[in-house]
């Protein structure tokens, strides 16, 4: 059962390409990060590096967040709380009930930042019986990890609680031989508290509050073709992130309708400082401090759950977002003139600040009708209005004496836009075991204001629009022992938003617009050929290319080039055995990606690769002990790459790690 379309449904009846990870699957695969989720969903790729929890690139069906100065292409929700920026999803997940990965535009029901899909992360809810779940683990880089949750009634049958949390502390993968220390150590954790009140059978009120706090070492950016886990830098740096979220969900069920109100607030802050040139030269540091506060309100009115022939939903949405850049730029040290020239004075700084406010209003609706029992017709429409305001912007050069010069300053810059987002779907049940569907949906990523403009021309950028055409099949065969889902899609994109980087500093300076097209398919397979033995597999293919893009600064034409962070192939395979009456547990995983390019020119890339994980243990009635290995063949692979001052640099994926874990459940 999933809630992809805002109502509980069998995944077989949802006309969307969707991968669902159940509570048992999440525990068996020890899925705790966004990258872990992506490794179990075709055409969803997350490019995390050894030590950089500060920001991860991702793509779904070839559309990525390589333009991180704009809205995300995908929507991320944790218990109905929207994460407005993929870089803020820094925490490890714990106590999960389900994950739903929806591919294709979901803008009609979810709104902005859902152009290419939605990732719904749902935690376990408070229970009417006392229960405890816990785990503790330790691995080969001294990673100590502990997680726990407890739930039960406060007032039996009416008021329930749930508390959960996670803490981890590990050494780094990268050795800074110049300072004789690890560059990328990590520590931190998160916690969540929930109260669920059911004063009657018709009402459910859920209060949810969470926090996360991480204190990490600097993100390692290393020369390519050199030793990937060793560097020499005069500054280790740091990457700190904190966040907290609160939500109130009120649901009322009536024989004629259901009403839901979701109120949420999330605050996120990141504070980082890294070496400016990633060498022993004392050129200085790059500083970045920014925070975001998002307040949302959604109201929905919809048909009862037990209605079959005609289902309907109408709703409204409001969002207020304040994005503040406190410090963003360079602090120069004694060797800075060697890199930037005489204009960079030791002890001086060149920092930016900006306050960008966004307001979103939306109204939406969707209806599904069955003219005959086997056929379902669905139509949806959303109207959304987005207003952006850049309240202030400055780039200030500060001398060691304290004297300041402002180079660029903008204030009271506004950019507004609105859009209609339709969706149409046809679903036909050929038999109780086989369903087919076709869908057409419009997607978009709103235009906005560049918070790093150098001039009027680079100040604003256009809305990105797309249409997605999709057909798919879903089957549940052999008494549910075999499930196969497949989808084929074509997605032309107009005004694709391209982040233009400064060739010297790799700092974003402008957002240009281009055209692109994406065509591909995905396949999900779940099978239980023998009692206790499971096979889980996924295969994704996408041809994601520019159809019209020319770099105005260099005149270079990129037509036909692959989009950044869009591997042509992605696949996952898991073979798992669990003794039916307890005892042996064994699992092997293979995850692979085709060639991936990291920039529009396709000069920086990673060849096709695959990694292997394994897990074996012994389980008793209420607890189990497991030995695990990740990337057991110690494969070296890039997760991003770029050229800085003619030197190719990048970040590498996590090397081989081995460890032990103990789990208990009562």
* Least reliable range by pLDDT among 35-39, 188-192, 239-243, 403-407: 403-407
- Tell me what the mean pLDDT of segment 577-588 comes to: 93
Q: Which of 264-273, 447-456, 481-490, 598-607 has the lowest mean pLDDT?
A: 447-456
State percent of the chain over pLDDT 70: 97
The CA distance from 457 to 451, in Å, is 13
Mean pLDDT of the chain: 91
Is 553's pLDDT higher than 80? no
Q: Answer whether residue 558 shows pLDDT above 60.
A: yes
Local confidence band at 51 (pLDDT 50, 70, 90 cut-offs): low
If one compares 429 and 454, the residue with the highest pLDDT of the two is 429
pLDDT at 52: 66
In this predicted structure, the answer to whether residue 187 has a pLDDT above a threshold of 60 is yes
The whole-number pLDDT of residue 285 equals 92
pLDDT in the model for residue 343 = 73
Q: Between 204 and 651, name the one with better pLDDT.
A: 204
pLDDT, average across residues 192-219: 94
Binned at pLDDT 50, 70 and 90, residue 555 comes out as: confident
Each residue's pLDDT tens digit, 126-164? 999 999 999 999 999 999 999 999 999 999 999 999 999
pLDDT at residue 357 in the model: 92
Q: Identify which of 67, 157, 149 has the alpha carbon closest to the alpha carbon of residue 113.
A: 67
Mean of the pLDDT values across residues 379-387? 96
Question: pLDDT value at position 568?
Answer: 96
Q: What percent of the chain has pLDDT over 90?
A: 67
Asked whether the predicted pLDDT for residue 96 surpasses 70, the reply is yes
Least confident of 159-163, 197-201, 508-512: 508-512
pLDDT at 83: 84
Question: What is the C-alpha to C-alpha distance for residues 94 and 70, in angstroms, rounded to an integer?
Answer: 29
Question: Residue 70: how many CB atoms within 10 A of its CB?
Answer: 22
Could you give the strand order of the β-sheet that contains 63-64, starting from the edge strand earlier in sequence? Answer: 44-47, 57-60, 63-64
The two most distant CA atoms of the chain are separated, in Å, by 79
DSSP state of 234: S
pLDDT tens per residue, range 302-347: 999 988 899 999 999 999 999 998 888 889 999 888 877 777 888 8
320 in Cβ contact with 359 (< 8 Å): yes
* DSSP conformation letters of 324-338: EEEEEEEEE-TTHHH
Pairwise CA distance, residues 30 & 585, whole Å: 13
Tell whether the model's pLDDT for residue 507 goes beyond 80. Answer: no
The answer on pLDDT for 227 being more than 90 is no
Provide the 10 A C-beta neighbour count for residue 148. 17
Q: What stretch of H or E contains 339?
A: helix 336-340
Tokens coding 446:
């709103």
Is the pLDDT reported for residue 646 higher than 60?
A: no
Q: With cut-offs at 50, 70 and 90, classify the pLDDT of residue 351.
A: confident
> Per-residue confidence at 112, pLDDT binned at 50, 70, 90?
confident
Alpha-carbon gap, residue 166 to 372, rounded angstroms: 50
pLDDT of 436 above 90: yes
Among residues 435, 385, 420, which one has the least CA distance to residue 108?
420
CA-CA-CA-CA torsion sign (423, 426, 431, 434): negative
Q: Is the CB of residue 108 less than 8 Å from the CB of residue 366? A: yes
Q: What is the pLDDT of residue 153?
A: 97
Band of residue 72 on the pLDDT scale cut at 50, 70, 90: confident
Instruction: Kindly give, in sequence order, each residue whose CB lies less than 8 Å from that of residue 315, ignoring residues fewer than 6 positions away.
Output: 298, 299, 300, 301, 302, 363, 364, 365
Residue 508 binned pLDDT confidence (cut-offs 50, 70, 90): low
State how far the alpha carbon of 470 is from the alpha carbons of 15, 476, 489, in Å: 10, 20, 4
Which of the given ranges, 57-61, 302-306, 467-471, 556-560, has the highest pLDDT on average?
467-471
pLDDT above 80 (res 89): no
Mean pLDDT of the 225-229 span = 77
């Amino acid at each position: 059962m999933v809630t992809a379309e805002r109502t509980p449904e069998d995944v077989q009846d949802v006309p969307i390409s969707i991968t669902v990870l159940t509570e048992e699957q999440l525990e068996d695969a020890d899925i705790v990060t966004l990258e872990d989720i992506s490794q179990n969903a075709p055409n969803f790729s997350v490019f995390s590096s050894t030590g950089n929890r500060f920001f991860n690139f991702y793509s779904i069906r070839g559309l990525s967040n390589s333009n991180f100065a704009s809205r995300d292409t995908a929507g991320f929700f944790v218990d109905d709380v929207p994460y407005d920026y993929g870089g803020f999803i820094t925490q490890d997940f714990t106590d999960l009930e389900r994950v739903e990965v929806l591919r294709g535009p979901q803008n009609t029901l979810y709104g902005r930042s859902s152009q290419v899909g939605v990732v719904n992360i749902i935690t376990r809810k408070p229970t009417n019986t006392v229960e405890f779940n816990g785990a503790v683990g330790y691995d080969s880089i001294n990673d100590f990890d502990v997680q726990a949750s407890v739930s039960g009634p406060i007032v039996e049958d009416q008021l329930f609680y749930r508390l959960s949390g996670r803490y981890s502390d590990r050494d780094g993968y990268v050795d800074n031989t110049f300072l004789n220390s690890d560059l990328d150590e990590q520590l931190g954790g998160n916690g969540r508290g929930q109260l669920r009140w059911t004063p009657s059978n018709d009402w459910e009120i859920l209060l949810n509050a969470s926090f996360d706090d991480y204190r990490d070492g600097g993100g390692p950016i290393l020369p390519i073709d050199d030793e990937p886990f060793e560097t020499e830098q005069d500054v280790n740096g740091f990457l700190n992130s904190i966040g907290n979220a609160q939500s109130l969900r009120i649901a009322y069920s009536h024989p004629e309708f259901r009403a839901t109100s979701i109120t949420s607030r999330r605050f996120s802050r990141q504070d980082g400082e890294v070496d400016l040139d990633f060498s022993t030269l004392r050129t200085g540091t790059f500083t970045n401090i920014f925070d975001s506060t998002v307040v949302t309100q959604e109201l929905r009115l919809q048909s009862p759950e037990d209605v079959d022939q005609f289902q309907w939903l109408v709703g409204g949405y409001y969002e207020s977002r304040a994005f503040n850049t406190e410090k963003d730029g360079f602090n120069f040290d004694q060797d800075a003139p060697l890199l930037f020239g005489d204009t960079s004075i030791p002890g001086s700084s060149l920092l930016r600040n900006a306050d960008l406010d966004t307001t979103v209003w939306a109204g939406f609706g969707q209806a599904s009708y069955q003219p005959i029992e086997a056929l379902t017709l669905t139509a949806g429409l959303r109207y959304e209005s987005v207003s952006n305001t850049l309240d202030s912007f400055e780039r200030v050069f500060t001398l060691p004496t304290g004297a300041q010069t402002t180079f660029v300053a903008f204030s009271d810059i506004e950019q507004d836009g609105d859009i209609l987002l339709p969706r149409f779907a046809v679903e036909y049940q050929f038999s109780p075991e086989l369903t087919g569907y076709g869908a057409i949906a419009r997607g978009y990523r709103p235009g906005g204001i560049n918070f790093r403009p150098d001039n009027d021309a680079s100040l604003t950028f256009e809305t990105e629009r797309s249409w997605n055409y999709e057909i798919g099949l879903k089957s549940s065969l052999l008494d549910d022992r075999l499930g196969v889902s497949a989808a084929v899609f074509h997605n032309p994109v107009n005004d694709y938003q391209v982040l233009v980087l400064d060739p010297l500093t790799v700092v974003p300076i402008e957002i240009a617009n281009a055209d692109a097209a994406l065509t591909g398919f995905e396949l999900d397979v779940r099978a239980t050929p023998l009692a206790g033995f499971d096979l889980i597999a996924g295969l994704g293919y996408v041809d994601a290319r520019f159809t019209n893009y020319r770099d105005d600064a260099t005149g270079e034409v990129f037509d036909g080039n692959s989009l950044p962070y869009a591997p042509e192939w992605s696949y996952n395979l898991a073979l798992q055995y669990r003794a039916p009456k307890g005892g042996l547990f064994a699992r092997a995983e293979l995850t692979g990606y085709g060639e991936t390019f990291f920039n529009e020119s396709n000069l920086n890339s990673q060849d096709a690769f695959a990694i292997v994980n394994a897990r074996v243990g012994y389980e008793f009635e209420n607890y189990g002990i497991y030995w695990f290995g990740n990337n057991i063949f110690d494969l070296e692979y890039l997760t991003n790459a770029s050229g800085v001052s003619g030197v190719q640099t990048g970040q590498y994926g996590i090397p081989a790690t081995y460890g032990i874990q103990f789990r208990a459940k009562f």
